[in-house]
Structure 1
Amino acid sequence: MKLLLIFAWLFSFPLNGHAQNKKDMKTNATSETEIRNVIENYYFKGIYEGNTELLKKAFYKGALLFGDVDGVPYFKTADQYIEGVGTRVSPEKSGKDFKAVIISVDIINSIATAKLNVRMYDFNYYNFITFNNIDGKWLIINKTLTNVHP
């Protein structure tokens, strides 16, 4: 009898209580198109060409980058990263292969994440990029990365 009362009590609570009601979450195709545009036309193109002006349009000024490259910890501010891209020989000028692919984009309201694979020089980077819609623009606010050996 006690067990029956406990089950009755437990099942009296709504089963759909979540931290955020799914019907309140907003995603739309326009946002995904805008994010893919930032990735392909500012981020990927900026890296490939060594074009710091394109990268500045993709990153929020206070963005941070974290990760590891061959087990060595990596940390830079967006400004440091963009400056480094501008001073190195770009993949375009190096003549080495460059392949950049968007694996996935997930959006909820004004935040989004993108998983990317960027192969350049002798690296096979996986990037997790966090976006925020700030003043109507999708900007990279955080980047994490790691180099994966085949």
Structure 2
Amino acid sequence: MLNVERPYPPLLRRPAYPASPRAREALESHINELMKLGVLRKAGHNEEVEVTTPVIITWHNDKSMMVGDFRALNTHTIPDRYPIPRIHETVTQLSKEMFITSMNSLEGFHQNVLRPQARNVLRIISHCGIYEYLRMPYGIKMNPLTIKKWWIPFSHMNYQRDG
């Protein structure tokens, strides 16, 4: 659950960052893709918007990634208390397993549907307009805890091999 200090500080309503033509094109592409996947929706003109987070494009090996600058929001997020296991405990537990799997964390975040009360603070702004996340975005302070809570039921399953 994402809890943010109320009333929302004015600094949480931030303007869009300037972007180069190349970054604008990439932003449009990412936003359109996330809308098709049901991760984002365009905020309506008559909706009250109290919190907006600017987005940027980062480049790695000529591939783009859209990233929200959630630093201001993270500063005003009330921490949730939930234990994250120590790495040596996890490695010890995994050393006894026959199979280990991995998950793309960016896509993993998008598997979690946001509650309506969290959506109003997870709105991004770009030259394209204001969009609301319907699923968890990358870059939120509470993401590791949320993923851990989501993963717990699966992490205790025992699978048996046929044959």
TM-score (ref. length: structure 1) = 0.26
TM-score (ref. length: structure 2) = 0.25
Tell me which of the two structures has the higher relative contact order, counting C-alpha pairs closer than 8 angstroms and 6 or more residues apart: 2
Larger Rg: 1
Q: Which has the higher strand share?
A: 1
